[in-house]
A = this chain, B = another copy of it.
Amino acid sequence: MPDAPALNGVFAPLTTPFASDDHISLPRLRENLARYNATRLAGYVITGSTGEAILLSWAETEELWAAVVESAGAGKILIAGTAAESTAETILRTRRAASLGFEVALVRTPHYYQSQMTPDTLAHFYRKVADASPIPILIYSIPQYTGITVEAPLVERLAEHPNIAGIKDSSGSVQRAAEMARVAGKRFRVLVGSAGTFFASLLVGASGGILALADALPESCVELYELATSGKIAEGRALQQRLLPTSKALVSRGGATGMKYALDQLGYYGGPVREPLRPLSEAARKEIDEVLAPIRAQIAG
Binding site for B on A (CB under 8 A): 22, 49, 54-57, 85-89, 110, 112-117, 120-122, 124-125, 128, 144-145, 147, 172-175, 178-179, 181-182, 194, 196-197, 199-201, 203-205, 231, 233, 237, 240-241, 244, 253, 255-257, 274-278
Contacts and interface: CB of A to CB of B under 8 A. Distances in A.
A84 to B, nearest CB: 9
Q: For the complex formed by this chain, how many copies does it contain in all?
A: 4
- Chain A contact residues, majority secondary structure: helix
Nearest to A108: B112
A143 B122 CA distance: 22
Contact of A110 (B86, B172, B240, B276): B276
A278 B278 CA distance: 37
8 contacts: A49-B113, A54-B85, A173-B173, A178-B237, A178-B240, A181-B241, A204-B237, A204-B240
Given A116-B278, A174-B174, A199-B204, 14 more contacts: A54-B86, A54-B112, A86-B275, A86-B276, A87-B274, A113-B145, A117-B276, A120-B278, A122-B276, A124-B278, A175-B200, A178-B200, A200-B203, A203-B203
A178 B253 CA distance: 18
A114 B201 CA distance: 25
Nearest to A92: B57
Given A87-B276, A116-B277, A200 B194 contact: no
Contacts of A144: 114-115
Q: List 7 A-B pairs, minimum CB-CB distance, nearest first.
A: A87-B275, A200-B200, A174-B174, A55-B86, A175-B196, A125-B276, A110-B276
B204 A116 contact: no
Contacts of A55: 85-86, 89
A201 B203 CA distance: 11
Contacts of A274: 86-88
Nearest to A275: B87
A174 to B, nearest CB: 4
